[in-house]
Chains A and B, each alone.
Chain A
Amino acid sequence: MSPHILATTIGRIVRQLRHDRRTVALIIVVPLLLLTLLYFMFDEQPLLFDKIALIMLGIFPFIIMFLITSIAMLRERTSGTLERLFTTPVGKLDLLFGYGIAFGLVATLQAAVASALAYWLFDLDTAGSLWLVIVIAVANAVLGVALGLLCSAFARTEFQAVQFMPVVAIPQILLCGLFVARDSMAGWLHAISDVLPLSYSVEALTEVGAHADPTGTMWRDLGIVIGAIILALALGAATLRRRTA
């Protein structure tokens, strides 16, 4: 890995995205529209809005970054650019961290804009700090990037790649405690939710919602999410092969 190649790769990925204005607009605007929808849905129940909107601030970046990354990486594989990059001094980690950091920056922007709307226009109320919400949202986005990089290895076409979104995201959303409290789930479901990283980021967000100061549980959960990111990136690195058949 080289700092220079990493920096230039991040720049290249951000530039690619910048040329695709519609995608940038969708990344920023879609979460705002969905938050607006939630706001009017729970017009009469501000407490429920606080709970759900807070969790959604973590889930949107996860889903969107997962999708964008898996398609971007699939393109890199199918267009031949990956093969060519592997004949140059680029290292696997330059690529993996390049994508992680580039899309992480985009996710920071997305989370900041969405949180700003939720807090200032829709009066989202959390006991803890807005900054922690953004940090957890960005960690979730990077988790989405890492899983997207990994899953792109198992798709040969863009059609297949988008199908991984429901496979990876929906079970995590169903079991993260948003619909049914994890403690009241059947034992085996609870066990599954225990190994899904989104369960921990949702718990971390809930902690921020309920406590003025960051709690030990929140830090532990954030640590677990970061561990999941590292694990997914390591597995992703294993799927990147310089030599192929």
Chain B
Amino acid sequence: METAIEVTDLVINRGKREVLHGFTCTIPRGSITGLLGPSGSGKTTLMRAVVGVQLVKSGRVTVLGEPAGSVPLRRKIGYLTQAPSVYDDLTVRENARYFASLYGLGAADADAALDGVGLSGAAHQLVGNLSGGQRSRASLACAIVGRPEVLVLDEPTVGQDPVLRDELWAQFRALAADGATILVSSHVMDEANRCDRLLLIRDGYLIGDDTPAAIKVTAGTDDLDEAFLRIIRQQEKAAA
């Protein structure tokens, strides 16, 4: 399978702390890759490096054959930050239209993106007046509006009700089927099962990289939560 994202020996410091310590992984094109790990394990930092807004100490990140953050990539990447990053003092539609216009797209594309996240009904509302779940969907709409080839989603389904979460995952699946590469972080194991591949990350180290099924087989359990735990214990034993 063709590689969309290639991370090689990536070292990143945030403040005085080293967050990623020579991180290496590859992410295949047209797939949904889940980035799993506890809070503070380096998920967001890795994602920031992939979209090219993170200062890197050493190592290399290549996206679609170009260095991360390079000019040609800026038309091909969609990034959803963990906290919704939309303009509170614009309506949902105005936000979507602004981000659409940055890619040279028009009002119809903006409306389609809103439809995709189930926000058409709230298009005229100011983002500042929305509920938390709606806000993060507004933010998601602005990430997918440019029809990116690589979509980096930092916890996209936090605060969404189960029905909506299901619909959003159907949407991600459809985007991947169209050829988009999706990197999505989560700490909900139920979502991990929906990914094509999982990267398990802990304390800035990659401790697992396989399909959900294979990870469960290796760990000898049908429960991903338990599998994650066993992998951590095995690694700790190996280290000790």
Contact = CB atoms under 8 A, between A and B. Distances in A.
B88 to A, nearest CB: 7
A219 interface: no
6 nearest CB pairs, A to B = A80-B85, A8-B101, A87-B79, A80-B81, A12-B98, A87-B51
A11 B101 CA distance: 11
A81 B142 CA distance: 11
A15 interface: yes
Chain B, interface size category, equals 35 or more
5 contacts: A4-B101, A5-B102, A19-B89, A79-B83, A245-B13
Given A4-B104, A88-B103, A16 B77 contact: no
Contact of B81 (A20, A84, A245): A84
B15 interface: yes
Interface of B: 13-15, 48, 51-56, 69, 71, 74-75, 77-79, 81, 83-91, 94, 98-99, 101-104, 126, 142-143, 146
A12 B86 CA distance: 12
B126 A89 contact: no
Given A12-B98, A79-B88, A243-B55, 10 more contacts: A4-B101, A9-B98, A19-B126, A79-B83, A87-B51, A89-B71, A89-B74, A243-B52, A243-B53, A243-B69
B85 A84 contact: yes
Contacts of A243: 52-56, 69
B55 A244 contact: yes
Interface of A: 4-5, 8-9, 11-12, 15-16, 19-20, 79-81, 83-90, 242-245
Name which of B15, B81, B88, B98 has the most chain A CB atoms within 10 A of its CB: B98
A11 B213 CA distance: 49
